[in-house]
Amino acid sequence: MKFIESIQVTKDYCQRLKREGKTIASIDTDAELHDGHMSLVKIAKENADVVVLSAGHSVDYKEQSAEEYTKSLLQYRKMSNGLSRDIELAKSNGVDVFFYIGGVGDQLYIDDLSIPIEMCEKAYAFWRNRDTFDATISPRLTYVLSTYFPVFNVIMPDITVVGQKDAYQNFGLKSLIKQLGLPIKVVIAPIIRDSDGLACSSRNKLLTQSDRQRAVSIYQTLQEVSTWSKIESIDYIKRYITSHIQSDECYVDICCAETLEELNALDRDAIIMISAGPFSEVYDFLTDNIFIYQ
């Protein structure tokens, strides 16, 4: 596995792969890798010749001061479960290129490579009246969305593999790729869960045991609804979910699985998407979803 910290070296290497006729799959992460990320690697290897995993703290770069960002990067490099662990995990799972973007944020996220926030917001335009919008489609998500494209500009992937858990983000990503006319296929991988059903996330470590027990109620409720033999009304399903999830706030969208059009009746394959929280002082909203097939 190649470990690269340079934008230009990564770009040159990916261009060489393209000239050789190789297909490239990209996996963009915020570092602190886990089993969910490795499931993306497996799918990427099945769909392309070369897997390039980018790892960094792109959201931190957008949200933190320069001093805070530098401090978080130094801590990540020093931690026993930080950069060295991520490199070993990626290598053992067959990643071909580990592109560490943590130290080059000031070069990567410059205006002429970044996607305007206005365009990112446009990608979520028809979501604005949804229950989950205020809780989930926030400036943070538009920032997350805008960080994909400078990385795409370096790697030039044929496909990008993302996790189903981030359904809102995935919709925005596909919408933006279409707006920009980019030849990138988005492959959505199933959610990987911990043994108690909680969707894998690097932020799960921030939950106390009692926080986690409450958070697990999201998946337990989704799983219960998915097994109902009788088709209930959309309003009933939403009321049931919000009353059974153990959080102060819970937002539910029930949409067509293919188009994400909001449904008035459960008359086709659907996706139930939840944003609920807060579950601790440092962990605001959790998102999760499940498909209901007719």
- Are 267 and 233 in contact by the 8 Å Cβ rule? The answer is no
Contacts of 12-16 with CB under 8 Å at 24 or more apart are: 13/97, 14/52, 14/97, 14/154, 14/155, 14/156, 15/156
Tokens encoding 24: 């490239």
Q: Rg for the chain (alpha carbons), in Å?
A: 19
Q: What is the pLDDT of residue 103?
A: 75
Contacts of 34 (CB under 8 A, 6+ apart): 200, 201, 202
- Are 82 and 56 in contact by the 8 Å Cβ rule? The answer is no
Domains of the chain: 2-189 (3.40.50.620), 202-287 (3.30.1300.10)
Please list the ranges in the chain whose pLDDT falls under 50.
none
d(CA 235, CA 148): 36
d(CA 211, CA 220): 15
At 62-96, the pLDDT tens digits run 667 778 878 888 888 888 779 999 999 999 999 99
Largest CA distance in the chain: 57
Strand 24-29 vs strand 159-163: parallel, antiparallel, or unpaired?
A: parallel
